[in-house]
A and B are shown apart, each in its own frame.
Chain A
Amino acid sequence: MTDKRAELRTPPEATIIHPPSAISSFLPVLHLRSRVLQAIRRWFGEHDFIEVETPVRLAAPALELHINAEPAGDRFLRTSPELHMKRLMAAGAPRIFQMGPCFRRGERGSRHNPEYTMLEWYRVDAGYAEVLMDTKMLLLAVAREVKGTTELTYQGRPLALAPFWERLTVAEAFLRWAGWDPTKVYDADRFDFDLVEKVEPRLPREVPVILTDYPAAAAALSRRKPDNSAVAERWELYLGGLEIANAYSELTDPVEQRARFAECAAARAAAGRPVYPLDEDFLAELGRMPPTGGIALGVDRLVMILADLATLDDLLPFRE
């Protein structure tokens, strides 16, 4: 059509995500997803991790400035299982993993769904570097088992899971593509905006990318780097440009953790968002948690990569 203005008159059409007749077309993807879940469980079993299940309904969900919990009666659906899993680590568990549903209010987009499957694992006497090794081994094992290869194709571009993973510090990436260093002077608004508009679109897609060493202010539950307290030991994994996982050297200092929660609660109140009660049991036990590396990995997005799907609409048969 040559008449651009004619587009203006087109009324917005109603969107039907998946009519009932389309559900059967999801069966092959569900099969692949099932094999991914089995491969993940097998890998953790072989590496002496215990699978745990922790509460889904929480009185005190973790305080994060930008993550909103879905109310469920007098409680909240978990946005992450991390506080209970850390209590298990504080109680002496050496290696634990959990794979189950998490819920985030209002998050719906082609890469977000208000409920999704999270894989979290924690390893004792470890930090974010050890968890990176776990992640590499896990993803290679899963890809080999499910796809028979670590040479993937995602949305028409090659994605080689081995042997090389690109590692970029946040400072390097921002200096290169956004022209400033958020670990020197942090500006939260500008950080998020430039991350989405300038950095993420330019990350390499042919290899896994680790964006690492975040400004401490952008990592509420992670340990600061011993040699640079402005930087937190946090990394994020990107596959094919898609953010897949977030890892921490976990913060084990209950005093600093309480202070960060309080700061976050104040910021949430100032932004007019609900403020959740502090999890006092978690804070009381955190001091007993040994040095621990932890990570949360989005299983739905990982399956999107392995199944070469562009959006969650192609993955989830019962999409709201």
Chain B
Amino acid sequence: MYSASDLRKGLKIEMDGVPYDIVEYEFYRPGKGQAMYKCRIRNLLNGNVTDKTFREVDGIGEPNLEEREMQYSYNDGEHFVFLENRTYEQITLNPEVLGDQKYFLTEDMTVKVLFHNDRAIVVTLPSYVEKKIISTEPGARGDTATNVTKAAKIDTGYEIRVPLFINEGDLVRIDTRNGAYAERVTKK
């Protein structure tokens, strides 16, 4: 159990069997009254965000969470299969657990899998991945502006906004945390 004074941004807690993480946290003490902890919490199972105020007297559940490194192995057409190298333990995840992350997986990529009561709930990829642009409108030569963008597609079919100077066949770095273009990769 946590007590209310343990609360802080990023702490993971549990309520009614559901794990949450604290996105925003605000200390507040009315007048002569007791301390309140106004939190915005995110359901780690479905991403929904809600507000919750904890009082000093409230006990707060501590979720049974474990994070393990695993390697992406393959996609069987529906599910995504990951392996733990050390133990050869295998898990199969629905695409819903991965969300847009599924577009950024590459074979043997090492990812962090968060388990809640031994059930995989969140997969975290490396912050940046490199992907090849397979289709986009031709860019204007010499246009190096980065604030004007156009649509492009990567090899997994994911659509992304890229600067005008990016061409088909270019390798780009993508921030997996927000799914956005980060920079062009120049291979020497």
Task: Mark A residues whose CB is within 8 Å of B.
Answer: 1-12, 15, 64-67, 106-112, 188-189, 191-193, 195-197, 200, 218-220, 236, 243, 246
Contact = CB atoms under 8 A, between A and B. Distances in A.
A109 B28 contact: yes
Contacts of A11: 10, 177
A6 B179 contact: yes
B57 A189 contact: yes
Interface centre among B28, B46, B101, B125 (most CB of A within 10 A): B28
Interface centre among A10, A67, A106 (most CB of B within 10 A): A10
A12 B9 contact: yes
Interface in B26-52: 26-36, 38, 42, 44, 46-48
A109 B29 CA distance: 9
Given A2-B100, A7-B42, A195-B33, 13 more contacts: A5-B101, A6-B178, A8-B44, A108-B27, A109-B26, A111-B28, A112-B29, A191-B33, A196-B28, A196-B33, A196-B38, A197-B53, A236-B31
Interface centre among B33, B56, B96 (most CB of A within 10 A): B33
Contacts of A106: 5, 27, 35
Contact of B27 (A112, A192, A246): A112
A1 B179 contact: yes
Contact of A67 (B32, B36, B176, B179): B32
B30 A192 contact: yes
B122 A8 contact: yes
B34 A112 contact: no
Contacts of A218: 31-33
B55 interface: yes
A112 B28 contact: yes
Contact of B122 (A9, A12, A65, A192): A9
Contact of B47 (A4, A12, A195, A219): A4
A8 B36 contact: no
Interface residues of B, number: 39
Nearest to A222: B32
Contact of A8 (B5, B38, B47, B55): B47
Contacts of B142: none
A66 B28 contact: no
B177 A64 contact: no
A243 B177 CA distance: 39
A219 B28 CA distance: 19
B127 to A, nearest CB: 8
A3 B9 contact: no
A108 B105 CA distance: 41
A6 B177 contact: yes
B122 A200 contact: no
Contacts of A66: 29, 32-35, 56
B47 A107 contact: no
B29 A189 contact: no
A9 B42 contact: no
Given A6-B179, A12-B10, A192 B34 contact: yes
B32 A246 contact: yes
Contacts of A64: 32
A8 B32 contact: no
B177 A10 contact: yes
Interface centre among A12, A65, A236 (most CB of B within 10 A): A12
Nearest to A219: B32
Interface centre among A7, A112, A192, A200 (most CB of B within 10 A): A192
Nearest to A111: B28
Interface centre among B9, B29, B97, B123 (most CB of A within 10 A): B29
A244 to B, nearest CB: 11
Nearest to B36: A196
Nearest to A195: B30
B101 A9 contact: yes
A167 B29 CA distance: 22
A202 to B, nearest CB: 14
B100 A6 contact: yes
